[in-house]
Amino acid sequence: MPLGFIILIGFLLEIFALVAVGSKIGALTTVAWVILSAVIGMSMMRTGARRAMMGERMRPQAGEAPQLAQIRSFADSTVYMFGGILLILPGFITDALGLLALIPPIRRRMVASWTHSAHWQSYATQRGYSEYDVQHVIEGEYHRMDD
């Protein structure tokens, strides 16, 4: 299916949901919900951007490259901000999906499912760290011979 067709179907479902829920709870309540969700979404965008820019880092798990922890931290902030975008869009379906990004266990599970793939593992280790480098440190002494 072309992406444009999927987006069109999504918009039509959103309009249908807004009309259906609006007829049950009232137009004023529906408009208030849309405005409130947009304000929450903007707050999520601001907080997520701050978390990404200030470098809120996740700790590496056992045997994990430090770079992968940074990737997981950035992905967590990205999912949080994407939830904010979904809340800014008017509609109940996008609001439900955006609110899922507020729940930390769901957000962590999404990030873990993406970052545990072989692609991210190889990306993190190609950036200068490998499991061998992280787990094995060879200590030694040296003396300068030219003094």
Q: Tell me: the pLDDT tens digits for 21-30?
A: 999 999 899 9
Domain ranges of the chain: 10-129
CA distance 96 to 102: 10
Which amino acid makes up residue 7? I
Using CB atoms within 10 Å of the CB of residue 129, give its burial: 0 to 12 exposed, 13 to 18 middle, 19+ buried. middle
What is the per-residue pLDDT across 44-83, written as a single tens digit (0 to 9) for each? Answer: 888 888 877 776 555 666 566 666 677 777 888 888 899 9
